[in-house]
């Protein structure tokens, strides 16, 4: 079928976004929008982000979550094979989650035998409304009624560790769910029927759309903070991926690049700059107590000297940053490889800032890109040139943090990179290309836009993570013919955009998903 839209730019097409919007408008959903997506509740349940010791059901019985269950990819309850204790009695079965308690009836679960094994109904609020309930309104809200008396209920709002809107902001939806199914999605067959060139066209268009959605994140920040500060915040956020994105961004906001420049002595050398920046970043982050680490008996003499220098810098500068200090509790270490601990990522950020101190991170990235273009000619990027671009954010270090995961920790046997090629490439795709494209279009630089597009399309080893593996399985069936087009970041980012647009928004039910219809209507 012919395209109903025209792209106004030669590079980074917005066609997929327009297809997505057009097709999404073919069915009108007049249901009231909930305050948060239902997936937030699933993520909260999956990670048990609530105070668990004193849970009680809506009828006052004690509740203990022994095992939250497996995230269900098919029809039926949200989590399968859970185990809970109610009043000390162990129960095994399924768990269904909703935003409102009344959604059980609204979604027609009462007469559906797929929900016969549900033992617990979890919801955020018991009543539905267009605005938040006040205390009086909550007391008047009708109790949700279930037709199955054996199902216990839990209202989550009173047990959350943080507010639900804050969690909605913090949670990284793309890191959910973890695959626990061997089924394929309903879009697998329509995609399987596509000729390779049309599948490639779809993935490329979706990949371009993903860059557009990332640009949307940065537009307003650039207007209020400028390119360098926004780029610095984006790189910092990427250093914290996936568990510490928010605290890293907060740290970069609390320690703006211009204030750092004002803090450093004009004649400071690279090492002094790096140590002053580390002292400020570690001091504001709350991650290192310099007095405490100075007394650590495990430190070697050279290590003690290093931390004493940081301590002295921080003592001189602390007054300036005193009102911006973060709490150590804001940082996460659980379920994380020690190599990715925030100590090493903060150190890496200091190395990047010092390396590009004269011109700035963003300006140097653009210069590197434009230099690569002028040296490549019509043949495209050579492998060394491509590596120079994708490894722009790599950090090889020879200081304390290259041999340690933690302050005062046991030394590693050999130096480790603070930022390796894979993470650097992710920063290029997720931060540098979107912000660079905003700049290119604002300055009407077609050559720069073409250079960014070429970088995005350059063939390389496909990125790999758990949700890309999920998409390769769930919509492509791990079939070699379908995986063959995945040769660049453009296509793998396209997979992730499809996942974000459809898999995360269909309430875990392929039957409600519009993506198979969009494939058949616009791409077959």
Residue 85 lies in a domain: yes
- Residues 6 or more apart whose CB falls under 8 angstroms from that of 55 comprise 62, 63, 64, 65, 154, 159
Residue 467 lies in a domain: no
Counting as low any pLDDT under 50, the low residues of the chain are: 1-6, 26-31, 129-144, 178-182
Residue 421 lies in a domain: no
Q: What is the pLDDT of residue 30?
A: 39
Residue 110 lies in a domain: yes
Residue 169 lies in a domain: yes
Polymer length in residues for the chain: 524
Q: Token match 């709002």: residue?
A: 157
The secondary structure element, H or E, covering residue 498 is helix 489-498
**What's the pLDDT tens digit per position in 259-283?**
999 999 989 999 999 999 999 999 9
Number of folded domains in the chain?
1
Q: What is the pLDDT of residue 473?
A: 85
**Residues facing residue 488 across a β-bridge:** 459
pTM of the model: 0.74
Residue 45 lies in a domain: yes
**What's the pLDDT tens digit per position in 86-123?**
999 999 999 999 999 998 988 888 888 899 999 999 99
Query: Could you give the C-alpha distances from 460 to 89, 148, 335, 448, 463, in angstroms and in order?
Result: 54, 54, 29, 21, 9
C-alpha span between 420 and 393 (Å, rounded): 8
- The answer to whether the beta carbons of residues 496 and 471 sit under 8 Å apart is yes
C-alpha span between 356 and 402 (Å, rounded): 20
- Residues 6 or more apart whose CB falls under 8 angstroms from that of 206 comprise 16, 493, 494, 495, 497, 498
Range of the domain at 139: 38-175
Residue 60 lies in a domain: yes
Residue 63 lies in a domain: yes
Q: What is the pLDDT of residue 4?
A: 38
């Amino acid at each position: 079928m012919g395209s109903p839209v025209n792209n106004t730019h030669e590079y980074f097409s917005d066609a997929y976004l327009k297809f997505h919007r057009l097709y999404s408008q073919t069915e009108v959903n007049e249901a009231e929008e909930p305050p948060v997506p239902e997936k937030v509740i699933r993520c909260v349940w999956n990670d048990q982000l609530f105070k668990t010791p004193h849970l009680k059901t809506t009828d006052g019985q004690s509740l203990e979550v022994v095992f939250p269950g497996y995230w269900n990819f098919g029809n039926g309850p949200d989590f399968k094979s859970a185990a809970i204790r109610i009043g000390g009695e162990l129960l095994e079965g399924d768990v269904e989650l909703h935003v409102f308690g009344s959604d059980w009836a609204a979604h027609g679960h009462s007469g559906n035998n797929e929900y016969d094994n549900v033992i617990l109904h979890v919801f955020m609020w018991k009543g539905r409304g267009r605005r938040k309930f006040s205390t009086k309104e909550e007391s008047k809200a009708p109790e949700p009624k279930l037709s199955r008396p054996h199902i216990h209920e839990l209202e989550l709002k009173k047990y959350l560790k943080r507010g639900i809107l804050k969690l909605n902001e913090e949670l990284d939806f793309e890191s959910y769910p973890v695959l626990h199914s061997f089924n394929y999605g309903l879009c697998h067959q329509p995609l399987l029927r596509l000729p390779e060139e049309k599948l490639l066209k779809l993935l490329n268009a979706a990949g371009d759309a993903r860059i557009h959605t990332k640009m949307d994140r940065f537009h307003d920040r650039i207007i209020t903070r400028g390119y360098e500060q926004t780029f610095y915040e984006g790189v910092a956020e990427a250093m914290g991926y996936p568990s510490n994105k928010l605290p890293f961004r907060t740290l970069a906001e609390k320690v703006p690049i211009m204030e750092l420049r004002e803090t450093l002595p004009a004649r400071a050398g690279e090492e002094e700059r790096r140590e002053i920046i580390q002292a400020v970043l570690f001091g504001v982050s709350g991650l290192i107590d310099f007095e405490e680490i100075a007394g650590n008996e495990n430190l070697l003499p050279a290590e003690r000297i290093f931390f004493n220098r940081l301590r002295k810098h921080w003592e001189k500068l602390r007054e300036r940053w005193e009102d911006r200090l973060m709490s150590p509790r804001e940082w996460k270490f659980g379920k994380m490889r020690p190599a990715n601990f925030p100590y090493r990522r903060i150190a890496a950020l200091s190395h990047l800032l010092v390396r590009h101190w004269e011109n700035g991170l963003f300006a140097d990235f653009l210069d590197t890109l434009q230099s690569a273009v002028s040296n490549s000619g019509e043949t495209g990027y050579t492998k060394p040139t491509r590596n120079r671009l994708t490894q722009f954010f790599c950090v090889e270090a020879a200081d304390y943090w290259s041999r340690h995961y933690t302050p005062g920790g046991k030394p590693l046997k050999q130096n480790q990179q603070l930022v390796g090629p894979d993470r650097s490439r992710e920063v290029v795709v997720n931060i540098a290309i979107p912000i660079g494209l905003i700049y290119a279009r604002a300055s009407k630089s077609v050559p720069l836009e073409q250079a960014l597009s070429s970088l995005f399309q350059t063939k390389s080893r496909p990125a790999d993570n758990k949700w890309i593996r999920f998409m390769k399985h769930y919509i492509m069936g791990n079939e070699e013919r379908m995986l063959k087009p995945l040769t660049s970041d453009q296509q793998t980012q396209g997979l992730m955009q499809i996942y974000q647009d459809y898999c995360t928004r269909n309430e875990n039910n392929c039957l409600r998903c519009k993506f198979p219809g969009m494939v058949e209507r616009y791409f077959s």
